[in-house]
Amino acid sequence: MPSPAGENIRTVWIIAEREIREKFKDRNFIASTGLIVFLISAMILITSFALDRDTEYTVGFDASDAAVRTAVEQQAETLDFVLQTEKFTTLDAVEEAIRSERVDIAIFGDMIITGDNSTPELQALLESGYQAAASIDLLASAELSDEQAMIIAQGPPQPERSDLSGMDSTTHSMLVYTMFGTAILYGLLALMGQYISQGVVEEKASRVFELLLTKVKAWQLLAGKLVGLGLVGLSQILLILLASGGVALYSGLLTSGTDLGLTDMLALVLNITIWFVCGYVFFSALFAIAGSLAARQEDLQSVQTPAIMILAISVSSLLPAASSPEGEFTRFLSIIPPFSPAAMPIRSAVVDISWWEYSISFLLLAVGTVLMISFGGRIYKGSMMRVGGIMKIRDALSRDKE
């Protein structure tokens, strides 16, 4: 004979398991997940392609002028331009290559030939390379040694720089990635919230609740739905992130232009994930309460609006947190629910946070979540026998006592 706690867990899991099985068999769910993965992957590939077009160029050179080509290539390396080069022997061949867009820009003799794909930066690069090569020629004619000529060609020494802004480039990258990661996850959370509300109203809409209430308690039904739909939502998010992350890695977008190492990336993912999961439980309970107030799927939109508003307010804390991660206001936001799941990862990407601040923030969120689930359970129970329209929270709470 299992203990009451064991029996409760077993019952909750039976309900959760049904939610998981049925959701994964739901064609609409499968189709919407596929569509999201497709759209995000397409967006990544388009962005990657656009970035490639911005930084990789094909440049035509005079086959007989190696000095200019070397100077341009050195400048390009300094400025993070990726160049493909092509050598030409006649001006006509250069012009034909530019017109057919096989080559983005070219320098032949003393002439720079531009086309539709020539950007001002690319022109400046070629001008600078040409001038550098010409300077070396001029200095060579002044009978200086090659070493002296090179020193002069490199120009005057640059002063060293000291950055007192307190945020090195790695930290800055962490902040930006954390902000975007958190914002994307919260966007997906709004979608998951809809699933949870729809799932919660299912028993009322199909009127199966009266039969279920002879077998399980209302809170077990709500908890089972939260666990089941929560796991479905998290696995959908994981699938979307893995698929889009794979595409981003394959296209090179994930690693291009960042100075974050593998350890930084893991810390970043862990930071975002832990707080997202905490926030997910909190907001799932909120969407479950919204679903409890409706008796039919048609009523869901209006009851979900307040939950989406609260979610939006929580996400809005990303902006002040990102603009001033070390400020007192951000510190406040990172501790108080429902802002903490969004603000804490941003702050912790930049600031070393003491263990007690983490603890208080986590504790308050846990207490808030427990209260939310308990409150939701009462509303759910009180509104179960209601079969039409939207129920007021006050009415649901008073009927809970019946």
Partner 1 sequence: MLAISNASKSFGSKKVLHDLSLNVEKGSIFGFCGANGQGKTTAMRIMIGILKPDSGTVRWNGASIGRKELRRIGYMPEERGLYPKMTPKRQLAYFGVLSGVNRREAEERAEYWLERLAVKLNPNDSLENLSLGNQQRVQLASTLLHEPDLLVLDEPFSGLDPVAVNALSELLVEQARKGVSIVLSSHQLELVENLCDSVGVLKDGRLVAEGPVSEIKKQSIKRIAKVKLSGASDSWHVDLPGTRLVERGEISSLHVDEGIPPEELLKNLMERGTVEHFSWNHQNLSEVFLDLAGVES
> Is residue 140 at the binding interface for partner 1, with CB under 8 A as the rule?
no
Q: Which range binds partner 1 by CB under 8 A, 11-19, 136-144, 298-306, 330-338?
A: 11-19
Contact string (CB under 8 A) for partner 1, positions 230-249, x = contact:
--------------------
Question: 53-57: which pairs have CB atoms within 8 A and are 24 or more residues apart?
Answer: 55/80, 55/81, 55/82, 56/82, 56/83, 56/84, 57/81, 57/82, 57/83, 57/84, 57/104, 57/105, 57/117, 57/122
| Minimum CB–partner distance for residue 371 and partner 1 (Å) | 25
Judged by CB under 8 A, the residue of 51, 213, 277, 308 near partner 1 is 213
In DSSP terms, which residues pair with 111 in a beta bridge? 108
Cα–Cα distance for residue pair 41/33, rounded to 1 Å? 12
| Minimum CB–partner distance for residue 220 and partner 1 (Å) | 9
> Is residue 95 at the binding interface for partner 1, with CB under 8 A as the rule?
no
Q: Which range binds partner 1 by CB under 8 A, 113-121, 206-214, 244-252, 277-285?
A: 206-214
Q: The sheet that has 105-108: what strands, in order across it?
A: 82-88, 56-62, 105-108, 111-114
> Would you say 346 and 324 are in contact if contact means Cβ atoms under 8 Å apart?
no
Write down how long the chain is: 402
> Is residue 211 at the binding interface for partner 1, with CB under 8 A as the rule?
yes
Q: What is the dihedral of CA 288, 292, 297, 301, to 10 degrees?
A: -70
> Is residue 215 at the binding interface for partner 1, with CB under 8 A as the rule?
yes
> Is residue 5 at the binding interface for partner 1, with CB under 8 A as the rule?
no
Judged by CB under 8 A, the residue of 61, 177, 209, 275 near partner 1 is 209
Site for partner 1 in 23-62 (CB under 8 A): 26
Judged by CB under 8 A, the residue of 53, 99, 207, 296 near partner 1 is 207
Q: Which range binds partner 1 by CB under 8 A, 114-122, 212-220, 247-255, 344-352?
A: 212-220
Vertex 184: Cα angle to 202 and 24 (nearest 5):
35
Q: Give the contacts of 173 (CB within 8 A, at least 6 positions apart).
A: 258, 259, 260, 264
Judged by CB under 8 A, the residue of 39, 257, 387, 389 near partner 1 is 387
**β-pairing, 111-114 with 105-108?**
antiparallel
Judged by CB under 8 A, the residue of 9, 11, 45, 117 near partner 1 is 11
CB atoms near residue 164 (< 10 Å):
4
Q: Give the contacts of 199 (CB within 8 A, at least 6 positions apart).
A: 19, 23, 225, 228, 229, 291
Judged by CB under 8 A, the residue of 167, 191, 212, 353 near partner 1 is 212
> Would you say 344 and 364 are in contact if contact means Cβ atoms under 8 Å apart?
no
Whose Cβ is closer to partner 1: residue 202's or residue 264's? 202
Whose Cβ is closer to partner 1: residue 102's or residue 215's? 215
Whose Cβ is closer to partner 1: residue 18's or residue 102's? 18
Judged by CB under 8 A, the residue of 6, 18, 89, 374 near partner 1 is 18
Site for partner 1 in 357-386 (CB under 8 A): 385
Cα–Cα distance for residue pair 383/25, rounded to 1 Å? 28
Residues at the site binding partner 1, with contacts judged by CB under 8 A: 11, 14-15, 18, 22, 26, 202-203, 206-217, 385, 387, 402
